[in-house]
Chains A and B, each alone.
Chain A
Amino acid sequence: MPVLKDRAIKSAGGLTEFKRQSERYSDDLRYLESKKPDLVKTHDKEWVAIYNASLVDYNKSLPELIKALGKKGIPEEEALIQFISSENILTLYAR
């Protein structure tokens, strides 16, 4: 389905932008994982937003966090938003 793939990449702003976003998103994921032990202590049960490999905001409320990102001019759809929890989770799924 090359046409659909082209449409997808175009929606990301083209191939160069697609790759740039991919790299930045990877950096954000690595940052989150490396900082998670600290984040669990300081932001347990909170939403955190990571952008350009830094913690840009946090809030107990997801809608409030999204609003705050908008005020800071950070594109919400590009930020890595994650709920931080000290609880153990188990995910299994069937359909």
Chain B
Amino acid sequence: MKIVNCFPFTFGAQMEPAPAVQAYCYLIRLNTGFWVTFMVDTGAAGTCLHGVPAWRIQRQLRPETSENASGVGGSCLYYGERAILVFLDTDQNTVSRTLNRLDVQAITLRDIVANRGIPSIPSLLGRDILNRWKLTYDCPNSVMYLTSP
């Protein structure tokens, strides 16, 4: 078993810290990757990129992969990309998970200029990954980690 540590993080906003995990997000088709801080979100069906990581690759995304997704905050357009997330476990070994569809938030330049809808939404690590792992979350004792089989 491999253990990937999580940590409490507020994502630059005024909110209760949420469990977060850092991962290297590699987009297979684009052959590019970057580090992302994901909020661990059992309420999210799928893992998705929001904000700056999504904006970085916006011009390279394919319109034919777009799908609408809805949540409490409303609906939003996402592009799909095949991706692999690489984590470091507590022994400094790599642990990876492949996503056949990573949802990437569609962001327009107008959104960016107006700081509209983009800034405060963290990227989410959803159940497409969490359902394959064990999540241990004991916030009062600062214990939060993912266990990979």
Interface residues of A (CB under 8 A from B): 1, 4-5, 7-9, 11-12, 15, 18-19, 21-22, 25-26, 29, 32-33, 36, 39-40, 45, 47-48, 60-63, 76-78, 80-95
Contact = CB atoms under 8 A, between A and B. Distances in A.
B15 A90 contact: yes
A83 B71 contact: no
Contacts of A94: 43-45, 69-72
A39 B12 CA distance: 9
A4 B13 contact: no
A92 B18 CA distance: 12
Contacts of B24: 8-9, 12, 18, 21-22
Contacts of B120: 83, 85, 87, 89
A82 B96 contact: no
A9 B14 contact: no
A92 B43 contact: yes
Interface residues of B, number: 54
Given A5-B86, A21-B35, A22-B22, A89 B112 contact: no
A5 to B, nearest CB: 4
Interface of B: 7-15, 20, 22, 24, 26, 28, 31-35, 37, 39, 41, 43-46, 48, 51-52, 55-56, 69-73, 84, 86, 88, 92, 94, 96, 98, 103, 112-113, 115, 118-122, 124, 126
Contact of A95 (B32, B45, B73): B45
Most buried by A among B26, B112, B118: B26
Contacts of B41: 91, 93
A13 B34 CA distance: 11
6 contacts: A1-B84, A11-B32, A25-B22, A82-B11, A89-B120, A93-B44
B122 A33 contact: no
B78 to A, nearest CB: 9
